[in-house]
């Protein structure tokens, strides 16, 4: 069938975001890169500082070529990566939880000064892609109330302290009694994810599931 999408694809062929190779419109990445990326289903249980446990999932370990892809995505504005990232995360979510029972998907916010500087929130972009794939509605639920230091520049001990009370729920009624998926780009120590989950639970969230592109394995528990 000839539709607008197929006509457009003649002029603007879909390309693999990893290598630039032209790919079919139903694909998100080329065959060669698919072999290299090593999709996993990494699952971790994290605990918030109030003692609530929640699951975090990721399709990739934080190794090449995913590491460079995330870097390009965040710092060089290579937003086309949101499509494969969204697809692989959605696949793991679907095999892990009943996505039809989840109420909303949200993302770890950037401070407004940081968002202005970068132009976009990288976690929001792929969270919206997961929303498009799974049909779970995307809702902003959190804001960053303090522009804290960048986590990776701190020691492990400083990181837990650095994220405390940095996030706030926008409106309690958005999250109360809700089952929520929250997205962040990388799970390193898990402090940021646990702090955001903590705020969602404090405002009455029934369930929280963390979803990231990659997980830094061998991190300190
Ligand atoms: Zn490729």
Rounded to the nearest whole angstrom, what is the distance from the C-alpha of residue 129 to the centroid of ligand 1? Answer: 20
Between the CA of 212 and the centroid of ligand 1 the distance, in Å, is 21
CA of residue 35 to ligand 1 center, whole Å: 9
Distance 185 CA to ligand 1 centre (A): 21
Chain segment 51-108, per-residue pLDDT in tens: 999 999 999 999 999 999 999 999 888 889 999 999 999 999 999 999 999 999 999 9
| Cβ-contact 183, 211 below 8 angstroms | yes
What is the whole-number distance in angstroms between the Cα of residue 16 and the centre of ligand 1? 5
CA 122 – ligand 1 centroid, Å: 21
Write the DSSP assignment of 39-96 as a string of letters: ---EEEEEE-TTS-EEEEEESEES-TTHHHHHHHHHHS--GGGHHHHHHHHHHHHHHH
Instruction: Determine the distance separating the centroid of ligand 1 and the alpha carbon of 6, expressed in angstroms.
Output: 21
Give the pLDDT score at 152: 83
CA 196 / ligand 1 centre spacing (Å): 34
Flag whether pLDDT at 2 surpasses 70: no
Q: Structure tokens of 204?
A: 């009455």
* This prediction's pTM: 0.92
Alpha carbon of 118 to ligand 1 centroid (Å): 26
Q: What is the pLDDT of residue 221?
A: 47
The phi, psi pair for 3, rounded to 5°, reads: -130, 175
Fold of 38-215: Rossmann fold (3.40.50)
Q: Where in the chain is the domain with CATH 3.40.50.2020?
A: 38-215
């Amino acid at each position: 069938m000839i539709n607008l999408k197929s006509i457009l694809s003649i002029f603007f062929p879909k390309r693999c975001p990893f290598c630039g190779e032209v790919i079919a419109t139903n694909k998100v990445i080329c065959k060669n890169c698919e072999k290299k990326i090593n999709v996993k289903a990494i699952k971790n249980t994290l605990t918030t500082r109030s003692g609530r446990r929640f699951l975090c999932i990721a399709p990739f370990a934080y190794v090449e070529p995913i590491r460079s892809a995330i870097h390009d995505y965040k710092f060089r504005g290579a937003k086309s990566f949101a499509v494969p990232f969204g697809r692989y995360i959605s696949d793991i979510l679907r095999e892990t939880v009943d996505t039809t029972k989840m109420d909303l998907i949200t993302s770890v916010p950037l401070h407004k000064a940081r968002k202005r500087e970068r132009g976009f929130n990288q976690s929001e972009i792929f969270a919206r892609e997961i929303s498009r794939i799974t049909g779970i509605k995307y809702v902003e639920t959190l804001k960053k109330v303090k522009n804290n230091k960048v986590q990776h520049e701190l020691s492990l001990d400083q990181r837990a302290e650095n994220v405390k009370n940095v996030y706030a729920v926008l409106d309690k009624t958005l999250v109360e009694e809700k089952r929520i998926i929250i997205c962040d780009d990388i799970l390193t120590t898990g402090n940021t994810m646990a702090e955001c989950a903590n705020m969602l639970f404090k405002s009455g969230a029934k369930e929280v599931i963390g979803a990231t592109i990659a997980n830094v394995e061998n991190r300190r528990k």
